[in-house]
Amino acid sequence: MASTKSFAKITVDNVKRGCDQDWGCGSYGATRGNRTHNGLDIKAIPGQQIISPISGTVTRFPYPYGDDLRWTGIEIKNSDYHVKIFYLTPTVLQNAKVKQGQVIGRAQNIASKYSSSMTNHVHIEVRNAKTLELINPDTLL
């Protein structure tokens, strides 16, 4: 398994989204009503380039909201990690091999789904490739 802080930044400055008054906090493990936030939110300006945190293969383009297909994501896998990043428009193809640090998409305007009180961001979830257990992205970014 790769060492701590082994991921590339997914935005140029990689600033974590804090807490929005109406929408909760962007930290890993934050409570969201009756569930837990399984990822980490990184601030992103709509249209901003999003960078792959790992080298691997683009396996699919998941949708975070089954009832609203305007919002897209990307899943990248390698032998150590399965990474999902939501709220971006991918600029790479499915089954493409990507390198750590490569541009993989552009941030979407997620505030337009909720309201201007939502800080625009991308959401990253990481799983251990062998056990499929969630990993706190904060320990890797």
pLDDT in tens, 83-140: 999 999 999 999 999 999 999 999 999 999 887 778 999 999 999 999 999 999 999 9
pLDDT in tens, 3-55: 457 899 999 999 999 888 777 888 999 987 788 999 999 999 999 999 999 99
Q: How far apart are CA 31 and CA 96, in angstroms?
A: 35
Cα maximum dimension of the chain: 39
Q: CB-based contacts of 126: which residues, under 8 Å, 6+ apart?
A: 39, 81, 82, 83, 134, 135, 136, 137, 140
pLDDT in tens, 54-78: 999 999 999 999 899 999 999 999 9
Residue 1 pLDDT: 47
Rounded to two decimals, what is the model's pTM?
Answer: 0.92
Q: CB-based contacts of 114: which residues, under 8 Å, 6+ apart?
A: 22, 23
Give the DSSP per-residue string, 25-45: E-STT-EETTEE--SEEEE--
